[in-house]
Chain A
């Protein structure tokens, strides 16, 4: 394919960071500034879109807050005044923006609690869950792809298993795991964010289907890499098959898988909603769903900012990973950098 693939094997690791990232020394500050700028732009867009979409969604927040309780004009006016809902919309929007610039995310309409504290306290369990699920997914994907790529029968079995996992709703998978490992075998507890053992089943429920998707992509990439001329070269050195797969081919196969993983982490966060509720775990997922249903604007906006932030951070990380994985990109950017 590309002759530069062979250079990847030849080059020895060296002091690499700025250079490998394709950053010319003089342009480094500019590059970082551009990154931060585009990140801020994404954050602003996320806030604005969430604000607008909640305003467009049916239902007035005051009606939702009063619910089916008695409503009097006095009560309505008090609620509007309390939450600043009596101001015109553009003003509400601007005052919100200015408050978050000062680090004040407001108070939840429904939970009546400070949003910063709420989101931070719920973020940790969700991060634990998604990180554990990601580990499950990657371990599953790598193990399944490396051990079965290019081998007919194991490949078919792994493929079938992956297809089953991908098409199993995570709610159902969660209940099934609970039924077998918690209710029947009593190996793991059902609920909460209390110990490592309580994390195992939720991480499996959330991570396996993701691992199955990544595994399939990874296997195809591996199979393609195994047919490349460099694979023959490496084999001719007498390297074992496993080392060939892990050390040389996996890197080639990883590119599309990394792209996919970056995108799927977003799915992990939304999948966390169901997993959290099945396993009775605390977390952002449930908080967010309830906030959206109840038009709890301060919570929704804080979560939107947080997810946009996570997304920006992740996509940066993925870009960096690309550069590390694929020398072609490095060389290109070095050339264009000159």
Chain B
């Protein structure tokens, strides 16, 4: 076996540099971190399960990462840093992954972390009875997970799959005993991880508490420090209302909050008592996806007309007061692997073009309401938004888009907010004109597959419902190579096709995460590369 990439001493040819210390909190380095104290963090989202394998909520990660860790960490430039694995190697044919594990790691239940324990995690994840739809994801490519020796794990794949390393190295490793717990699926203190904190108590609807893991000495190589965490105790309190989180922080009842509305951001930005930071999400922007199989949006001219009819910049500026960034691509600019910047400003607001396109498409007459019509039918497009995912003033944003579509091009956008069940039905049956959506969890190009493969072939969130053969061919080509540059080019080509040629969607803005903290709290920040709020490992309290 010849290794292509590695940072193992003995196993391979190339050694990757390890990027260390590029984290917020270490920048203000002059003061030495102080040990001790407890911290309370007000969060918006309560995890629906505390089992890190089964929890798919991006906003729950910051909590669960305190107790559960994975094989490799990511570096800001998209590389990998040692964590529970000291290094990894990929065989020449891209179908064998070897992870060399640390030999000094113990789970909080006392069990040793070894290759057999990690292999058990992957074997379990492949069982649909345990992991449901997750079994159809990354782990489905594993044909065999074996412990070559106590600290060497070998994963064999049945075919080359480019996003594999990102997916697999980020999966949290549970102690073998956890899989026998009756609480396995719900998660909780009975599930042991290797993290710097130990989950102590979960009070549903109220809070989740952690205590420091005194034995911890295996932080990722690029963490802000090594050794046990600074804090003694850590509490995440669930405060679903944004105004309440803000008030709880300003009145000193919590030390840190996440999820700050555009209106409240200024309150913390301008105050010397608080530090405010935000990070653009990876994944896809909040985008209007046009259904290409049904109604007026089946006509590419209509789709292009909508792209030209909306002055996105102006809307974003007025709705978010400059606190959000306009989006251009099929990925957000935070996705440093595959975001092709050349898409920016390659299309845009052009009402003349919009109207000319609609005339060409046959929507020439106007009715009493000023809307365009064809054969006596009004140009109406149903926008189906799930009520459950309305956040971040997106309802106001959609109203602004609706007003512009009407004023600039005589298009009627019928906004419909529906419950989760109706949404799932209409999404499955294609009963919509437009679905607005954004995703944050999948990376390394994976989200492109889910959005642009045919639904029958794994395009689970293919909102535009495109089945264009060239798109599928490109995606197959990209998935079967490990050459990142080649994949970048393919995705860039796909982006131009999807937005400029076919107008499958109109990207509106880049969602982000916000954190505000009292200034005596140090070391709060975002994860490198994935840009979600980081765990509390590096946080310390300035006396």
Chain A residues with CB under 8 Å of chain B are 57-60, 63-72, 74-75, 78-79, 82, 110-113, 118, 121-122, 125, 175, 178-179, 182-184, 186, 189-194, 276-283, 286-287, 293-295
Q: Which residues of B contact A276 (CB under 8 A)?
A: 205
With A182-B247, A184-B251, A280-B206 as known contacts, state yes or no: A63 contacts B51, CB within 8 Å. Answer: no
Interface flags for B265-294 (1: CB within 8 Å of A; 0: not) read 000000000000000000000000000000
15 inter-chain pairs at a CB distance below 8 angstroms, sorted by A residue, are A60-B421, A69-B137, A70-B460, A71-B133, A111-B186, A175-B243, A175-B244, A178-B247, A186-B251, A190-B244, A191-B248, A193-B206, A278-B241, A280-B237, A282-B203
Q: Are A59 and B186 in contact (CB under 8 A)?
A: no
Q: Are B186 and A75 in contact (CB under 8 A)?
A: no
Q: Which residues of B contact A178 (CB under 8 A)?
A: 244, 247
Q: Which residues of A contact B388 (CB under 8 A)?
A: 293
Q: Which residues of A contact B137 (CB under 8 A)?
A: 69-70
Interface flags for B113-136 (1: CB within 8 Å of A; 0: not) read 000000000000000110011111
Q: Are A112 and B136 in contact (CB under 8 A)?
A: no
Q: Which residue of A lies closest to B421 (CB)?
A: A59
Interface residues of B in 365-387 (CB under 8 A from A): none
Q: Are A63 and B428 in contact (CB under 8 A)?
A: yes
Shortest beta-carbon distance from A276 to chain B in Å: 7
Q: Are B48 and A111 in contact (CB under 8 A)?
A: yes
Q: Are A192 and B56 in contact (CB under 8 A)?
A: no
Q: Are B49 and A111 in contact (CB under 8 A)?
A: yes
Q: Does B207 contact A (CB under 8 A)?
A: yes
Q: Does B424 contact A (CB under 8 A)?
A: yes
Interface residues of B in 415-441 (CB under 8 A from A): 419-425, 428, 439
Interface residues of B in 162-187 (CB under 8 A from A): 183, 185-187
With A110-B48, A113-B186, A184-B251 as known contacts, state yes or no: A282 contacts B205, CB within 8 Å. Answer: yes
Contact of A63 among B48, B186, B425 (CB under 8 A): B425
Q: Are B421 and A183 in contact (CB under 8 A)?
A: no
Q: Are B205 and A190 in contact (CB under 8 A)?
A: no
Assembly CA distance A219 to B244 (angstroms): 36
Q: Does B250 contact A (CB under 8 A)?
A: yes
Assembly CA distance A64 to B133 (angstroms): 12
Q: Are A75 and B135 in contact (CB under 8 A)?
A: yes
With A67-B56, A68-B460, A280-B206 as known contacts, state yes or no: A183 contacts B238, CB within 8 Å. Answer: no
Q: Which residue of B lies closest to A292 (CB)?
A: B419
Most chain-B CB neighbours within 10 Å: which of A118, A191, A279? A191
Q: Are B247 and A190 in contact (CB under 8 A)?
A: yes
Q: Which residues of B contact A68 (CB under 8 A)?
A: 439, 450, 460-461
Assembly CA distance A59 to B51 (angstroms): 26
With A68-B460, A112-B186 as known contacts, state yes or no: A82 contacts B206, CB within 8 Å. Answer: no
Q: Are B420 and A64 in contact (CB under 8 A)?
A: yes
Interface size on B, residues (CB 8 A): 49
Q: Which residues of A contact B420 (CB under 8 A)?
A: 59, 64, 293-295
Interface residues of B in 140-195 (CB under 8 A from A): 183, 185-187
Q: Are B253 and A69 in contact (CB under 8 A)?
A: no
With A57-B421, A112-B185 as known contacts, state yes or no: A280 contacts B244, CB within 8 Å. Answer: yes
Q: Are A281 and B206 in contact (CB under 8 A)?
A: yes
Assembly CA distance A118 to B186 (angstroms): 11
Q: Which 4 A-B pairs have the closest CB atoms?
A: A59-B421, A282-B205, A112-B185, A69-B133
Q: Which residue of B lies closest to A171 (CB)?
A: B241
Q: Which residues of B contact A192 (CB under 8 A)?
A: 203, 206-207, 237
Shortest beta-carbon distance from A230 to chain B in Å: 50
Q: Does B322 contact A (CB under 8 A)?
A: no
Q: Which residue of B lies closest to A280 (CB)?
A: B239
With A189-B253, A191-B248, A192-B237 as known contacts, state yes or no: A69 contacts B134, CB within 8 Å. Answer: yes
Q: Does B458 contact A (CB under 8 A)?
A: yes
Assembly CA distance A59 to B429 (angstroms): 11
Q: Which residues of A contact B48 (CB under 8 A)?
A: 110-111
Interface residues of B in 1-60 (CB under 8 A from A): 48-49, 51, 54, 56
Shortest beta-carbon distance from A98 to chain B in Å: 23
Assembly CA distance A59 to B132 (angstroms): 19
Q: Which residues of B contact A179 (CB under 8 A)?
A: 247
Q: Which residue of B lies closest to A186 (CB)?
A: B251
Q: Which residues of B contact A295 (CB under 8 A)?
A: 420-421
Q: Which residues of B contact A79 (CB under 8 A)?
A: 128, 132
Q: Which residues of A contact B253 (CB under 8 A)?
A: 182, 189-191
Assembly CA distance A248 to B323 (angstroms): 64
Assembly CA distance A118 to B203 (angstroms): 11
Q: Are A72 and B136 in contact (CB under 8 A)?
A: yes
Interface residues of B in 434-476 (CB under 8 A from A): 439, 450, 458, 460-461
Q: Are B244 and A64 in contact (CB under 8 A)?
A: no
Q: Does B204 contact A (CB under 8 A)?
A: yes
Q: Does B240 contact A (CB under 8 A)?
A: yes
Assembly CA distance A67 to B133 (angstroms): 9
Shortest beta-carbon distance from B420 to chain A in Å: 5
Assembly CA distance A1 to B412 (angstroms): 65
Q: Are B56 and A277 in contact (CB under 8 A)?
A: no
Q: Are A58 and B421 in contact (CB under 8 A)?
A: yes
Q: Are B239 and A191 in contact (CB under 8 A)?
A: yes
Q: Which residues of B contact A190 (CB under 8 A)?
A: 239, 244, 247-248, 251, 253
Q: A65-B132, A111-B186, A183-B251 are in contact. List 19 more A-B contacts (CB 8 A).
A: A58-B422, A58-B425, A59-B421, A59-B422, A59-B425, A63-B425, A67-B133, A69-B56, A69-B132, A78-B128, A79-B128, A182-B248, A184-B251, A190-B251, A191-B239, A277-B241, A280-B205, A280-B237, A293-B420
Contact of B205 among A59, A71, A189, A286 (CB under 8 A): A286
Q: Are B424 and A63 in contact (CB under 8 A)?
A: yes
Shortest beta-carbon distance from B147 to chain A in Å: 27
Q: Which residues of A contact B238 (CB under 8 A)?
A: 191, 280
Q: Are B244 and A281 in contact (CB under 8 A)?
A: no
Interface residues of B in 248-263 (CB under 8 A from A): 248, 250-253
Most chain-A CB neighbours within 10 Å: which of B239, B424, B428, B458? B424
Shortest beta-carbon distance from B203 to chain A in Å: 6
Q: Which residue of B lies closest to A54 (CB)?
A: B421
With A121-B204, A178-B247, A293-B388 as known contacts, state yes or no: A112 contacts B49, CB within 8 Å. Answer: yes
Q: Which residue of A lies closest to B43 (CB)?
A: A280
Assembly CA distance A51 to B253 (angstroms): 42
Shortest beta-carbon distance from A295 to chain B in Å: 6
Most chain-B CB neighbours within 10 Å: which of A72, A186, A283? A72
Contact of B206 among A72, A78, A191 (CB under 8 A): A191
Q: Which residues of A contact B423 (CB under 8 A)?
A: 59
Shortest beta-carbon distance from A287 to chain B in Å: 7
Assembly CA distance A58 to B207 (angstroms): 32
Q: Are A191 and B237 in contact (CB under 8 A)?
A: yes
Assembly CA distance A63 to B133 (angstroms): 11
Assembly CA distance A64 to B137 (angstroms): 18
Q: Are A78 and B132 in contact (CB under 8 A)?
A: yes
Interface flags for B223-244 (1: CB within 8 Å of A; 0: not) read 0000000000000011111011
Q: Which residues of A contact B421 (CB under 8 A)?
A: 57-60, 64, 295
Assembly CA distance A191 to B41 (angstroms): 12
With A70-B136, A79-B132, A112-B185 as known contacts, state yes or no: A125 contacts B205, CB within 8 Å. Answer: yes
